[in-house]
Amino acid sequence: MFSYKTSLGRQEPKISETDIKKFTSVFQQCDESKKGYLDREDLKIAIVMLFGYKPSKSETDLLLHPVLQANLPGVPLDHFINLMGRKLSVQDPFEKTRQIFTAFDVHCRGFLTLEDFRKAFSSVAHLQDQTVQEAFREVDRDSDGHISFKDLESVLTYGQDDR
């Protein structure tokens, strides 16, 4: 793990070497003209690449505020790594699972049936029905015919700490 400190001496969240490499790669891809910093539009693209959403004007302004106060033309790499590390540290680890579950739970029942599963898979992948049924049974650990958020979460997060 690598740790950054602010000029005030307070400890910033630890950022893994893997995350630093990912942030650096995205920074370099977004800094197409090799100017050494990301301007407003570059920063927005970087956030889309890293977090999958376009930041609002107010979020972008908030991220750029310290840079503009220091009279810099944009966000340099070290500041970008620090900013993205902080964003990553406050991200809800279950948000992606929640989004997947919500997308599948079109009837807002709080659980998924085999039919919900079939419809969801038919819209994103053309799998044989037998494969969808096997996947459903694998996720439906208590065999009650319903998949809860907790069931889906346990399957999607299983083994992630072993990386």
Distance CA 142, CA 161 (A): 24
* Tens of pLDDT, residues 50-66: 988 899 999 999 999 99
Q: Is the pLDDT of residue 3 over 50?
A: no
Q: State both tokens at 151.
A: 């069931």
CATH of the domain at 124: 1.10.238.10
- Give residue 35's domain range: 17-90
Task: Give one DSSP letter per residue of 83-136, joined into a string.
Answer: HHHHHHHTS-TTHHHHHHHHHH-TT-SSEE-HHHHHHHHHHH----HHHHHHHH
- For the entire predicted model, the pTM comes to 0.56
Q: Are 1 and 16 in contact, with CB atoms under 8 Å apart? A: yes
Report if residue 41 sits inside a domain: yes
Q: Are residues 109 and 143 in the same domain?
A: yes
Report if residue 79 sits inside a domain: yes
| Mean pLDDT rounded to a whole number for the chain | 84
Report if residue 4 sits inside a domain: no
* Tens of pLDDT, residues 68-126: 899 999 999 999 999 999 988 887 777 778 878 888 888 888 999 999 988 888 877 87
Report if residue 43 sits inside a domain: yes
Q: pLDDT at position 12, please?
A: 54
Report if residue 7 sits inside a domain: no
Q: pLDDT at position 98, please?
A: 81
* Tens of pLDDT, residues 9-52: 445 567 889 999 999 999 999 999 999 999 999 999 999 999 88
Report if residue 11 sits inside a domain: no
